[in-house]
Structure 1
Amino acid sequence: MSRPGAGAAYEAARIRFELGEAVRLRRGQLGLSQAELAERAGVERPAVAGFEAEEP
Protein backbone atom coordinates (compact mmCIF):
# COMPACT_ATOMS: atom_id res chain seq x y z
CA MET A 1 0.00 0.00 0.00
CA SER A 2 2.78 2.40 -0.83
CA ARG A 3 0.86 4.04 -3.67
CA PRO A 4 -0.90 7.32 -2.89
CA GLY A 5 -4.51 6.70 -1.93
CA ALA A 6 -4.05 2.95 -1.49
CA GLY A 7 -4.89 3.13 2.21
CA ALA A 8 -8.08 5.06 1.55
CA ALA A 9 -9.08 2.65 -1.24
CA TYR A 10 -8.51 -0.33 1.03
CA GLU A 11 -10.56 1.28 3.81
CA ALA A 12 -13.43 2.02 1.41
CA ALA A 13 -13.40 -1.59 0.19
CA ARG A 14 -13.41 -2.86 3.78
CA ILE A 15 -16.41 -0.70 4.64
CA ARG A 16 -18.31 -1.87 1.53
CA PHE A 17 -17.61 -5.49 2.49
CA GLU A 18 -18.75 -4.99 6.08
CA LEU A 19 -21.94 -3.23 5.00
CA GLY A 20 -22.74 -5.96 2.48
CA GLU A 21 -22.14 -8.62 5.10
CA ALA A 22 -24.38 -6.81 7.61
CA VAL A 23 -27.18 -6.51 5.06
CA ARG A 24 -26.83 -10.18 4.09
CA LEU A 25 -26.94 -11.31 7.73
CA ARG A 26 -29.90 -9.12 8.64
CA ARG A 27 -31.80 -10.16 5.51
CA GLY A 28 -31.29 -13.77 6.59
CA GLN A 29 -32.47 -13.03 10.12
CA LEU A 30 -35.63 -11.51 8.70
CA GLY A 31 -36.16 -14.45 6.36
CA LEU A 32 -36.20 -12.26 3.26
CA SER A 33 -35.01 -13.28 -0.18
CA GLN A 34 -32.91 -10.87 -2.20
CA ALA A 35 -35.97 -10.25 -4.38
CA GLU A 36 -38.12 -9.39 -1.35
CA LEU A 37 -35.50 -7.02 0.03
CA ALA A 38 -35.08 -5.41 -3.38
CA GLU A 39 -38.83 -4.83 -3.66
CA ARG A 40 -38.99 -3.28 -0.20
CA ALA A 41 -35.96 -1.08 -0.93
CA GLY A 42 -37.23 -0.03 -4.36
CA VAL A 43 -34.26 -1.44 -6.27
CA GLU A 44 -33.70 -4.35 -8.66
CA ARG A 45 -32.61 -7.72 -7.25
CA PRO A 46 -29.20 -7.62 -8.99
CA ALA A 47 -28.44 -4.44 -7.03
CA VAL A 48 -28.97 -6.30 -3.75
CA ALA A 49 -26.92 -9.25 -4.98
CA GLY A 50 -24.09 -6.97 -6.04
CA PHE A 51 -24.13 -5.07 -2.78
CA GLU A 52 -24.01 -8.27 -0.76
CA ALA A 53 -21.20 -9.69 -2.90
CA GLU A 54 -18.72 -6.86 -2.21
CA GLU A 55 -15.32 -8.26 -1.29
CA PRO A 56 -12.53 -6.61 0.66
Structure 2
Amino acid sequence: MAPEYAVDGLFSAKSGAFSFGILLLEVICGKRNKAYYHTEWALNLVGKAWAAWKEYSTGL
Protein backbone atom coordinates (compact mmCIF):
# COMPACT_ATOMS: atom_id res chain seq x y z
CA MET A 1 0.00 0.00 0.00
CA ALA A 2 1.34 3.39 -0.94
CA PRO A 3 2.20 5.67 2.00
CA GLU A 4 -0.07 8.52 0.88
CA TYR A 5 -2.99 6.10 0.59
CA ALA A 6 -2.34 4.63 4.03
CA VAL A 7 -2.07 8.04 5.70
CA ASP A 8 -4.54 10.23 3.80
CA GLY A 9 -6.70 7.76 1.88
CA LEU A 10 -5.72 9.43 -1.40
CA PHE A 11 -5.16 7.18 -4.38
CA SER A 12 -3.44 8.30 -7.58
CA ALA A 13 -1.48 6.88 -10.49
CA LYS A 14 1.65 7.21 -8.35
CA SER A 15 0.00 5.08 -5.65
CA GLY A 16 -0.72 2.40 -8.23
CA ALA A 17 2.86 2.50 -9.52
CA PHE A 18 4.23 2.25 -5.98
CA SER A 19 1.97 -0.72 -5.19
CA PHE A 20 2.98 -2.46 -8.42
CA GLY A 21 6.65 -1.88 -7.62
CA ILE A 22 6.23 -3.40 -4.17
CA LEU A 23 4.41 -6.38 -5.65
CA LEU A 24 7.17 -6.85 -8.22
CA LEU A 25 9.83 -6.60 -5.50
CA GLU A 26 8.02 -9.21 -3.40
CA VAL A 27 7.78 -11.59 -6.36
CA ILE A 28 11.45 -11.21 -7.26
CA CYS A 29 12.69 -11.61 -3.68
CA GLY A 30 10.18 -14.28 -2.69
CA LYS A 31 9.44 -12.43 0.56
CA ARG A 32 6.61 -10.20 1.71
CA ASN A 33 7.39 -6.58 2.49
CA LYS A 34 5.69 -6.69 5.90
CA ALA A 35 7.21 -10.08 6.80
CA TYR A 36 10.81 -9.06 6.00
CA TYR A 37 12.78 -7.44 8.78
CA HIS A 38 16.57 -7.26 8.98
CA THR A 39 17.61 -7.40 12.63
CA GLU A 40 20.97 -5.69 12.15
CA TRP A 41 19.78 -2.62 10.23
CA ALA A 42 16.06 -2.49 11.11
CA LEU A 43 15.07 -2.30 7.43
CA ASN A 44 12.03 -3.68 5.69
CA LEU A 45 12.21 -5.14 2.19
CA VAL A 46 11.97 -1.72 0.51
CA GLY A 47 14.70 -0.27 2.74
CA LYS A 48 16.97 -3.21 2.00
CA ALA A 49 16.39 -2.88 -1.75
CA TRP A 50 17.12 0.87 -1.58
CA ALA A 51 20.34 0.29 0.40
CA ALA A 52 21.44 -2.35 -2.11
CA TRP A 53 20.68 0.03 -5.00
CA LYS A 54 22.69 2.85 -3.42
CA GLU A 55 25.62 0.48 -2.81
CA TYR A 56 25.45 -0.79 -6.38
CA SER A 57 25.16 2.66 -7.95
CA THR A 58 28.11 4.10 -6.02
CA GLY A 59 30.27 1.13 -7.01
CA LEU A 60 29.89 1.76 -10.74
Larger RCO, structure (CA 8 Å, separation 6 or more): 1
Between Structure 1 and Structure 2, the one with more helix by share is 1
TM exceeding 0.5: no
From the CA coordinates, give the structure whose radius of gyration is larger: 1
Give the structure-2-normalised TM-score.
Answer: 0.38
